[in-house]
């Protein structure tokens, strides 16, 4: 390879531009930042710079594999593609003939391209004719998405482009550790700070992000709405809100004012330990700022009250008149590479392409017309990702196809998930590696990497962009979209899946999204290549795209956003005498999601070879921890031993453990599987635990 190929990173929602260039060193290729793509301002983080390692890794699966004797976790044998596709199709047909169409399910991923996400949804509903599809994005953005739909009438993670951040006067970062999770976003925040902006971080830990803050609020997990009610109380009591904006562009103010009346700063201090002066300072600072931004992420969303927590932060942005204004707004910081696009076009249980709803008759009719089927053929809505896994455990689902995900590591109460997958009559995993989930598979099919699969993605700011193929697929690996189409053909539904290129899939996707809330119909590959991406909605070829949302109207018929009065609730599993501490989980800068890629990257593993629990010196003293000792963390679901780091930068009663590892290093064996009633997001961010010195 003697030429440079422009592409995009596979990690996180920034989707930074990168270039694959010739190199004198093995393997003859190298990665460097792209100077052209405007999002990352010519930078890559350490994950991006090392992204070639897993693509060329010796453990990559390069041929279809089938279990010898069908024994779970037994030896594999190589198979040819006709045997694999034919054998899987025959087994699906056997299971559906015996148990019904809904006995077969699909579990997708938030890092797949828009085209593959779209095809998975179509494949499930048209080829399998099953209602059961969901994806690991349910564990990422579902609470923020549900809150955005309720408040604005539409979910597009960030209501503003990244380029607005340096213009902000006051920025609140809640439950988001941008410096480790989206490192190339930090220059935007630092530029805002250089321009005079105040930054407030709200997190139970002192993080790399909080080091850049003017104020760090070290809030115990589960108290987000209590603290925000305190901010809202001050803003309303002192009449600091934008009265004209509230009257003209929102509804629900009276309900909100009543809900926060009792949450004086003094009461907030009593409930949370956050000083009364801090609550007043943050409230007044944000309300008086000319341009304010609120950004949230998983810290407050991955809770059984995650939607309400998020709505309360949106209340803060709306009450101060900041949504739809240049240099201001609300943004949910998407975590996964294509967490935004992955949910827009059909991987969620209740959604069809373009954010259409599968239970809306007009939406069903429109999408069915694009697909060339009778609307009556479309199944109804299924259930969320974790609920789907529970249905496997309960015996209702007998087969599952997993593409681009590793649910044994990424799901809460992981032992239940492991047990459930062991019950399946057919588990097909499409992946680059034998992941923890693939160890339970009957078939392991070699999929394509981000450097091999052309397609489009949608980053955290709603920018749709094109990612070209930079390398051919190795060995007998297939492009994911080709594999899906071939399996549909073997199931007798191939007439609906005949495409000559991945661009054909995108053209159909844009037709299916036309007129929907996430309207891509004015976007083409040619335009994306020319313009470095287009913001949706983009309903026509001459439409410029919409970087900033809700400048004039919100997506409700009356054009008004909704304010919600939130009464804070207890977490699903409060601490008690038996389990007196809180376990919270999160990411490290060196790793990504379940670690399937980054744990195979030597440069990243060297920096973080295993998970380390962070505890406060008070807790270390209480349990009698000795130098070099380990801790045993026990929840109602299990007990694990971890290396430990003692730090004053964490709430005394809170323990933090990163979640990127599997098996006996998987903290998700301990996490609680309680779900938010609206988003069905599991409560990853807090469960009650005991912490003891490990002998």
Residue 151 lies in a domain: yes
Rounded alpha-carbon distances, angstroms, from residue 246 to 164, 169, 256:
22, 20, 11
Residue 39 lies in a domain: yes
Residues 349 and 318 in one domain: no
Do both 293 and 184 map to the same domain?
Answer: yes
Inside any domain, residue 559:
no
What are the pLDDT digits (tens) for 180-206? 999 999 999 999 999 999 999 999 999
Supply φ then ψ for residue 419, to 5 degrees.
-60, -40
Indicate the average pLDDT of the chain.
Answer: 95
Output Rg (C-alpha) for the chain, integer angstroms: 24
Alpha-carbon gap, residue 135 to 90, rounded angstroms = 25
455-458 β-sheet, strand order? 455-458, 463-467, 534-535
Do 367 and 458 fall into the same domain?
Answer: yes
Q: What angle do CA 661, 665, 667 make, to 5 degrees?
A: 80
Distinct helix (H) and strand (E) counts, the chain: 24, 28
| pLDDT in the model for residue 57 | 93
DSSP code per residue over 65-116: EEEGGG-TT--EEE--HHHHHHHHHHHHHHHHHHH-GGGEEEEE-TTS-HHH
Residue 414 lies in a domain: yes
Clarify whether residues 307 and 178 are in a common domain.
yes
Query: What are the tens digits of pLDDT across the range 204-259?
Result: 999 999 999 999 999 999 999 999 999 999 999 999 999 999 999 999 999 999 99
pLDDT at 433: 96
Among 500, 535, 570, the domain-final residue is 535
What pLDDT, on the 0 to 100 scale, is given for residue 2? 62
Res 71 pLDDT > 70: no
pLDDT at residue 276 greater than cutoff 60: yes
Q: Provide mean pLDDT across the span 554-559.
A: 97
* 543 in any annotated domain: no
**What is the predicted pLDDT for the residue at 274?**
97
Asked if residues 608 and 642 have their Cβ atoms less than 8 Å apart, the reply is no
CATH number, domain with residue 48: 2.20.25
* The predicted structure's pLDDT at residue 340: 85
Q: What is the CATH number of the domain that holds 210?
A: 3.40.228.10
Of residues 435 and 3, more confidence is placed in 435
Is 595 in the same domain as 687? yes
Task: Provide, rounded to the nearest whole percent, the portion of the chain with pLDDT above 70.
Answer: 99
Per the domain annotation, does 551 fall within a domain?
A: no
Domain co-membership, 133 together with 173: no
Q: Of all residues in the chain, what percent carry a pLDDT higher than 90? A: 93
Contact present, 385 and 421 (Cβ < 8 Å): no
Contact 6, 17 (CB under 8 A): yes
The domain boundary, picked from 466, 500, 535, lies at 535
Q: Are 89 and 127 in contact (CB under 8 A)?
A: no
Q: Are strands 638-646 and 534-535 parallel, antiparallel or unpaired?
A: unpaired
Residue 544 belongs to some domain of the structure: no
Mean pLDDT across the stretch 498-510? 98
Per-residue pLDDT tens over the stretch 644-693: 999 999 999 999 999 999 999 999 999 999 999 999 999 999 999 999 99
Residue 673 lies in a domain: yes
Find the range with the poorest average confidence among 19-23, 189-193, 440-444, 485-489: 19-23
Q: What is the model's pLDDT at position 1? A: 45
Question: In which region does residue 7 sit, left (phi positive, over 0), alpha (psi from -120 to 50) or beta (all else)?
Answer: beta
- DSSP assignment, residue 124? I
Beta-carbon count within 10 A of 98 CB: 10
The three-class DSSP label of residue 250 is: strand
The pLDDT score that the predictor gives to residue 78 is 97
Q: Is the pLDDT of residue 532 over 90?
A: no
Q: Are residues 43 and 115 in the same domain?
A: no
Q: Are residues 168 and 250 in the same domain?
A: yes
CA distances from 20 to 30, 40, 44 (A): 6, 16, 13
* 272 lies in the same domain as 206: yes
Q: Do 155 and 134 have their domain in common? A: no
Please count the structural domains in the chain: 4
| 135: pLDDT strictly greater than 80 | yes
CATH number of domain containing 476: 3.40.50.740
State how beta strands 630-635 and 638-646 pair. Answer: antiparallel
- Reply yes or no: is the peptide bond before residue 14 cis, omega within 30 of 0: no
pLDDT digits (tens, 9 = 90+) for 324-380: 999 999 999 988 889 888 888 889 999 999 999 999 999 999 999 999 999 999 999
The CATH number assigned to the domain holding 607 equals 2.40.40.20
**Are both 124 and 51 inside the same structural domain?**
no
- Please state whether 593 falls in left (phi above 0), alpha (psi between -120 and 50) or beta: left
pLDDT tens digits along 74-121: 899 999 999 999 999 999 999 999 999 999 999 999 999 999 999 999
Which domain, by its residues, includes 32? Answer: 5-55
The residue from 310, 332, 354 where one domain ends is 332
Q: Are residues 126 and 156 in the same domain?
A: no
- 73, pLDDT greater than 90: no
User: Would the pTM of this model clear 0.75, i.e. be above it?
Assistant: yes
């Amino acid at each position: 390879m003697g030429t440079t190929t422009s592409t995009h990173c596979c990690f996180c929602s920034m989707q930074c531009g990168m270039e694959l260039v010739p190199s004198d060193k093995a393997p003859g290729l190298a990665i460097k930042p792209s100077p052209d793509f405007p999002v990352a301002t010519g930078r890559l983080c350490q994950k991006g710079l090392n992204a070639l390692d897993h693509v060329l890794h010796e453990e990559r699966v390069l041929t279809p594999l089938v279990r010898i004797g069908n024994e779970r976790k037994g030896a594999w044998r190589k198979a040819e593609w006709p045997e694999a596709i034919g054998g899987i199709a025959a087994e699906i047909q056997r299971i559906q003939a015996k148990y019904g169409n809904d006995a077969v399910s699909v579990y997708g991923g938030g890092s797949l391209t828009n085209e593959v996400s779209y095809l998975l949804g179509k494949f499930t509903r048209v080829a399998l004719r099953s209602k059961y599809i969901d994806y690991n994005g349910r564990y990422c953005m579902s609470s923020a998405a549900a809150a955005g739909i309720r408040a604005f009438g539409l979910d597009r993670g960030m209501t503003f482009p990244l380029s607005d951040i340096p213009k902000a006067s006051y920025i609140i970062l809640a439950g988001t550790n941008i410096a480790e999770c989206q490192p190339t976003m930090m220059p935007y925040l630092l530029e805002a700070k250089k321009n005079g902006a105040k930054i407030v971080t709200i997190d139970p830990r002192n993080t790399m992000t909080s080091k850049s803050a003017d104020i760090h609020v070290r809030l115990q997990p589960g108290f987000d709405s209590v603290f925000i009610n305190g901010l809202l109380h001050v803003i309303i009591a002192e009449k600091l809100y934008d009265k004209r904006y509230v009257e003209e562009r929102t509804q629900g103010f009276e309900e909100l004012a009543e809900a926060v009346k009792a949450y004086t700063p003094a009461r907030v201090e009593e409930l949370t330990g956050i000083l009364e002066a801090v609550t007043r300072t943050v409230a007044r600072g944000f309300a008086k700022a000319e341009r304010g931004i609120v950004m949230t992420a998983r810290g407050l969303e991955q809770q059984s009250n995650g939607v309400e927590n998020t709505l309360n932060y949106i209340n803060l942005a709306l009450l101060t008149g900041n949504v739809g204004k240049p240099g201001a707004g609300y943004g949910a910081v998407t975590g996964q590479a294509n967490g935004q696009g992955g949910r827009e076009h059909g991987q969620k249980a209740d959604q069809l392409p373009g954010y259409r709803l599968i239970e809306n008759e007009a939406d069903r009719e429109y999408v069915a017309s694009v697909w060339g089927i009778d609307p009556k053929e479309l199944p109804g809505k299924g259930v969320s990702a974790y609920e789907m896994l529970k249905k496997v455990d309960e015996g209702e689902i007998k087969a599952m196809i997993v593409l681009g995900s590793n649910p044994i590591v990424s799901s809460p109460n992981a032992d239940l998930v492991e047990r459930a997958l062991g019950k399946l009559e057919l588990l097909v995993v499409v992946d680059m590696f034998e992941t923890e989930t693939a160890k339970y598979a009957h078939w392991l099919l070699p999929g394509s990497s981000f450097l091999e699969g052309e397609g489009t993605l949608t980053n955290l700011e709603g920018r749709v962009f094109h990612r070209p193929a930079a390398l051919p697929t190795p060995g007998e690996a297939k492009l994911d979209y080709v594999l899906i189409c071939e399996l549909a053909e073997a199931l007798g539904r191939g007439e609906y899946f005949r495409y000559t290129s991945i661009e054909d899939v995108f053209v159909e996707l844009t037709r299916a999204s036309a007129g929907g809330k996430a309207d891509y119909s004015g976007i083409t590959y040619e335009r994306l290549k020319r313009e470095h991406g287009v913001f949706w909605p983009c309903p026509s070829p001459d439409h410029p795209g919409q970087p900033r949302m809700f400048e004039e109207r919100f997506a409700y018929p009356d054009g008004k956003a909704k304010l919600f009065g939130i009464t804070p609730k207890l977490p699903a599993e409060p601490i008690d005498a038996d389990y007196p501490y809180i376990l919270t989980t999160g990411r490290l800068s060196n790793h990504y999601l379940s670690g399937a890629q980054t744990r195979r990257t030597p440069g990243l593993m060297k920096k973080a070879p295993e998970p380390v629990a962070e505890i406060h010196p008070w807790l270390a003293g209480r349990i009698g921890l000795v130098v070099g000792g380990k801790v045993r963390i026990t929840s109602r679901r299990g007990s694990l031993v971890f290396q430990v780091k003692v730090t004053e930068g964490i709430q005394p009663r809170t323990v933090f453990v990163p979640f990127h590892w599997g098996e006996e290093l998987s903290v998700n064996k301990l996490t609680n599987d309680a779900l938010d009633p609206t988003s069905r997001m599991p409560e990853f961010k807090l469960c009650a635990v005991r912490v003891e010195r490990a002998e």
